[in-house]
Amino acid sequence: MPGEFDLIRRHFTRPAPAGMLGVGDDCALLMPTAEATAVSTDLLVEGRHFFADVDPRALGHKSLAVNLSDLAAMGARPTAFVLGLALPRVDDAWLSAFAGGMFALADAHGCALVGGDTTRGGAGVTVSVTIFGAVPAEAALRRSGARPGDDVWVSGALGDADLALRLLAGEPDLPVADRAAALAATRRALEWPEPRVALGLALRGVASAAIDVSDGLLQDLGHVLAASGCGARLCADDVPLSPALAALPPAWRRRCALGGGDAYELCFTAAPDARARVAEAAARAGVPATRIGAVEPGAGLRVVDRGGAALPDLPAGFDHFRPGTT
């Protein structure tokens, strides 16, 4: 069985890009630039964020993807990341697949692994990634920039990851006749999210505020509105759904698309006179963007149907510490 340092050398050591000191010293060195450094960290805990039997390649991908998604939401360009790993045991095949999934995504985004920490942990695997990106401070897409009159937009389609999670958890009252087919159609969204980095970059100077949808559209848009001191009207019928979701009854569709987490799409606001530039940004990034509502003066989020009627029983987003959330 390999020791700690052998494990790091074999699975997580690669030459650092020019201008950086990477794995192997007490600290990594990243050279300063004129831009601001965007920093974000995410923790993934077995049994809470992923199932114990998850494909390790997918876990490696997702551990980095959720961090890249935070950079995307700020309009930042990824530069480097560090990886904290707590492992109950050393399983070389598992680690090699995990590292493979992570490095494939890292390479696709030019984001280098420059350090980390590895330890024996408790019963399950814990993964912590801290990511660094670059963005001119004045160009960063903050949550606080939405203004009344702005459009509300979302990228991609929502709800697949949440439906996949409900299927994997075997939720009994889910009205899905062919669960295997539904899982086959949605699992990729849950396990292999595609962070919208190119869209975030293209939205610099176009979007007024942005957030990535990690805990549910309503909750995450609520954060933008609270930070911006505004309210909004959101048309639930305009929220883009995948074909797998379209087969569900309306209440379930809303539960998955408006309340479901793990989507890693971008929700953003932009002035109405920027509509053509939003469309260009989306086309350049190769991801659809859909207008789903409008920012209003005041506070709070009004969710309506296409006829303008308020919708009842809206789903709450995900909160690890809310009573009743397991």
Q: Which of 88, 116, 136, 240 binds ligand ADP (CB under 6 A)?
A: 116
Look at residues 76, 81, 83 and name the one whose alpha carbon lies nearest to residue 133: 76
* Part in contact with Mg ion (CB under 5 A); list of ranges 65-73, 112-120, 249-257, 302-310: 112-120
Work out how close the CB of 159 gets to Mg ion at its nearest, in angstroms, rounded to a whole number.
40
Work out how close the CB of 5 gets to ligand ADP at its nearest, in angstroms, rounded to a whole number.
7
Residue ranges in 199-258 that form contacts with ligand ADP under rule CB under 6 A: none
Q: Which residue is nearest to Mg ion (CB)?
A: 117
Nearer to ligand ADP by Cβ, of 4 and 171: the residue is: 4
Q: Which residues of 227-246 are buried (b: 16+ CB within 10 A; e: fewer)?
A: ebebbbbbbbeebbbbebbe
Question: How many amino acids of this chain bind Mg ion (CB under 5 A)?
Answer: 1
DSSP string covering 259-314, please? Answer: H------EEEEE-GGGHHHHHHHHHHHT--EEEEEEEESSSEEEEE-TTSPBPSSP
The interface mask with ligand ADP, positions 78-107, x = CB under 6 A, is -----x-x----------------------
The interface mask with Mg ion, positions 117-156, x = CB under 5 A, is x---------------------------------------
Question: How many amino acids of this chain bind ligand ADP (CB under 6 A)?
Answer: 13
For 177, other C-beta atoms within 10 Å of its C-beta total 7
241 contact, one of ligand ADP, Mg ion, none, CB 5-8 Å limit per kind: none
E-strand spans in the chain? Answer: 20-21, 29-30, 36-45, 77-87, 112-120, 126-135, 151-155, 209-212, 231-235, 266-270, 289-296, 300-304
Dihedrals φ, ψ of 279, to 5°?
Answer: -60, -40
C-alpha–C-alpha distance, residues 259 and 252, integer Å: 10
Q: Which of 113, 135, 176, 197 binds ligand ADP (CB under 6 A)?
A: 113
Q: Is 88 exposed, middle or buried (0-12, 13-18, 19+ CB in 10 A)?
A: middle
* Part in contact with Mg ion (CB under 5 A); list of ranges 35-43, 109-117, 148-156, 264-272: 109-117
12 binds ligand ADP (CB under 6 A): yes
Q: Which residues bind ligand ADP (CB under 6 A)?
A: 8, 12, 23-26, 83, 85, 113, 115-118
Q: Which residues bind Mg ion (CB under 5 A)?
A: 117
